Structure 1
Amino acid sequence: MRSTPLALLATTDPVLRECAAFDLVVSEPGTVALVHTLSEDATAVRRVVIDANGVISDRWHVLDDGCFSCGIAGDAVNALEEIISMMWPHALAYFPPLAIDPLPLSRVVNEACQDGGLSAHLSSVSAVVDTTAAVEDLLEPITLEERRIASDAPERSIGEAILAQISVADLIVAHGGDGPGGELVEHLRAHDTLLTGDLHDGDVHPLLFGGEHSAAAALARVDPRGVQPWGGPSEYGTWTLDLASTRPFHPARLLDNIELLGAGRLVHRGRFWVPTRPGTICSWEGAGGQVSVGVVGSHPVPAEVSTRLVICGNGDERERLQRAFADSLLTDEELTRDPRSWEATSDELEPWLGAVS
């Protein structure tokens, strides 16, 4: 039995999404697209199915109560399987709700493909980006609510949403050409992520539908433990700053310097550790004026962990960032302290990282 190739294409731009769906279904016979749209109150999704002849169906479905991302993924799997069983398309393109994080969604879809719940194989996960707006969207403090994008987290910046989509993608569709936005996207593109200009050319179909998505490769691209500077051209002033040290951050000084490290027109990715939590690897990520920290995992041997922040921008923040980074690290004297002296029942980062274990 033939397995239908399924491509997942994420974006934050409603116009780009509609254009991309239309381009794909008209450029290759037998291609069908499912466009998933979230209701304003984030309780229901609209399923629009189209092919080269136009709209096939247009229905609303109420999401299951509980986990929001689980509800989106579950409805997507059901809708996609319904399309396959009724139409058996040559290729199937899935456009999830705007600003969705494709990593957990693609994981559920991929698992459904592998266990037989979905008669397809996930061929690719892509991010569709408007490069003419990328600098503003990624660097300015604009929230999803301000852009009128329905979400379960309306306070999230649109930059964070785009960064999540770019970071996990097998393919980036950079619509709008080069310029400052294209240059910034290039600095954020992983070395194994492909880049194409648009979906108008039928040659893009093999990139979307001709391969096999690797969940392990996607996870590796976004794992803070493997963060690295991708770099790129600098014709329009874009730079990537790689701040790395084997030393941990001092929890109090990190909190004091958080604004110096995080404020401004910047995109951040990275990891760090603090001596009050010697067995914990912490994540650092942000865009659009927002920075989030969290716990990634643990490391059995402290010597194997390091602190590394990779920051992209196009302004004059580099010297400030370097000073703040260096000031946040443990000093030579602090490094010589007995590790037991750092043991505590709490630290300054507890509101963000949870209780000290």
Structure 2
Amino acid sequence: MSRDETRLPVAVVAGLHADARRAAVEEILRTVPGSVALHHDLSAATDGTVHRTVRDAGGPLGGGDAPLVNDCACCALREDLIPELERLAGGGSPRLAVVELWDSVEPEAMAAVIDAAGAPLELTGVATAVDPALLVPYLSNGDDLAEAGLAAAPADQRTVADTFARQLEYPAVIAVAEDGSAGEPADDGDRALLAQLTPGARVVPVGGDGLAAALLAGFDVAAAAARRHPASALLPQECDEHGVSTLVWRRDRPFHPERLYAALEDLACAAARSRGRFWLADRPDTLLAWDAAGGALSVEPAGPWLAALPDAAWDLVPAERRVAASLDWHPAHGDRCQHLTFTSPGLDRDGLLDVLDSCLLTDAEYAAGRDGWARLPHAFDHLLAPVT
């Protein structure tokens, strides 16, 4: 039997831009005869209800409610999603099942759940649907999801901006729906911002036949995770177009922890989106992840630098990580590096460079070596585990 006869292709469509997401799903249902869409509505999750609907191009086919699991709507979605997809696979074998995620649900977690389920399901594509005119408003929105009525659980502490950024950066397909619902149409600057934030993604307009084909092309969950992991992330490239700039800042020398800490607020607000990896002089073996959107910055440890691992451990590291390390390799520091990217309309590149460079160790501080670096103020102890 062919693959289509033995497995149900499953595509995921995510996005905080609900109108764009719905338009993308409707296009898929229209262009792939026999396809169905599965959607879990989490808007009433705070009242204990997660409502599931299944529909095709002609309208609703069925529905039901899923109970909350551990007071978590996303947990309920995970528990209900796979059995429902398996039921669809065994009851008529639609040509494609489209999982339309609710507004603030991020595609990475759901893609991993579907991929791990295995046969009879086959994850063939992941897309985030966007209206380019809404990029700047959403990336600058530092409100908690709860304030916007978009929290997926009572304890959900994510913000609109950081959730939207992760939705953009994970999938291999960006479905662009310019329907004018934003009030003002998208301009060249909006499209330049989208292009710079999504390197490597295939941008497909909603309104043609290309979206369905892109979502049936196949999806590699491990490669997608590597594109997001700080050690091997596919970061934006240097660019300046239509008033939107991306600054790629790469240096070998470590940060002075106290000077960097003092500059965090300015750096977090310097761009609509910034991300990357960096190292502090007092924590030379820890790879640190930089993730900022909406004026809020997250700094988290992301494991050891490859150069800090014993040689025997290298074979256990994903190939993407080893390739990324080889591109940054320094004769003295190995893969330890500063690799940060800042993308924004109206970016103050010169001012940003001055601030970043001023946070590095001076020549005298650098010459003190690791013993001297260990005596520097541990300014990040309350954000990270204390240096031992």
TM-score, normalised on structure 2? Answer: 0.83
**What is the match of residue 234 of structure 1?**
241
Q: Tell me, yes or no, if the aligned pair for 1:267 and 1:311 is still in contact at 8 Å.
A: yes
Gaps of 5+ in 1: none
Q: 1:140 to 1:320 in 2, by over 3 A?
A: farther
How far is 1:53 from its partner? 2.2
- Is structure 2 residue 293 aligned with structure 1 residue 287? yes
1:123 aligned partner: 124
SS at match of 1:230: coil
- Residue in structure 2 matched with residue 51 of structure 1 by the alignment: 56
Decide whether the 8 Å contact of 1:138 with 1:158 is kept in 2: yes
Deviation at 1:208, TM superposition (A): 0.8
Query: 2:362 maps to what in 1?
Result: 331
Deviation at 1:16, TM superposition (A): 2.5
Inter-partner Cα distance in structure 1 for 2:334 and 2:13: 40
Contact 1:229 1:310 in 2 (8 A): yes
**1:15 maps onto 2:19 in alignment:** yes
Q: What corresponds to 2:39 in structure 1?
A: 35
Deviation at 1:345, TM superposition (A): 11
CA displacement at 1:351 relative to structure 2: 2.4
1:213-234 Cα distance to aligned partner (Å, 9 max, x none): 1112212221222343335561
Any gaps of 5 or more consecutive residues in structure 2?
Answer: 179-185, 309-332
- From 172, 175, 185, the equivalent of 1:170 is 172
What percentage of residue pairs aligned between the two structures are identical? 26
Letter aligned with residue 285 of structure 2 = G
Which residue of the other structure, out of 178, 196, 204, is the alignment partner of 2:211?
204
Q: 1:146 Cα deviation (Å)?
A: 4.1
Moved more, 248-257 or 17-26: 17-26
Partner secondary structure for residue 335 of structure 1: helix
| 1:272-325 CA distance string (max 9 Å, x none) | 111221211000011122111111111234432101110001124322221211
Contact map agreement 2:365 2:372 (CA 8 A) in 1: no
Work out whether 1:183 is the aligned partner of 2:192. yes
- Secondary structure in 2 aligned to 1:76? helix
Distance 2:285 2:271 in 1: 32
The one-letter amino acid paired with 1:96 is: L
- Distance, in Å, in 1 between the alignment partners of 2:240 and 2:369 is 45
From 80, 88, 100, the equivalent of 1:75 is: 80
Decide whether the 8 Å contact of 2:270 with 2:347 is kept in 1.
no
Query: Secondary structure of the residue that 2:383 maps to in structure 1?
Result: helix
Match of residue 109 from structure 1: 114
Match of 1:271 in 2: 277
One-letter identity of the residue aligned with 1:28: V
Cα distance in 1 for residues equivalent to 2:73 and 2:386: 26
* CA RMSD of superposed structures (Å): 2.4
CA pair 93-294 structure 1, distance change in 2 beyond 3 A = same
* TM-score with structure 1 setting the length: 0.89
**Structure 1: which amino acid aligns with 2:130?**
V
Could you say what secondary structure the match of 1:156 adopts? Answer: coil
Q: Give the aligned length.
A: 349
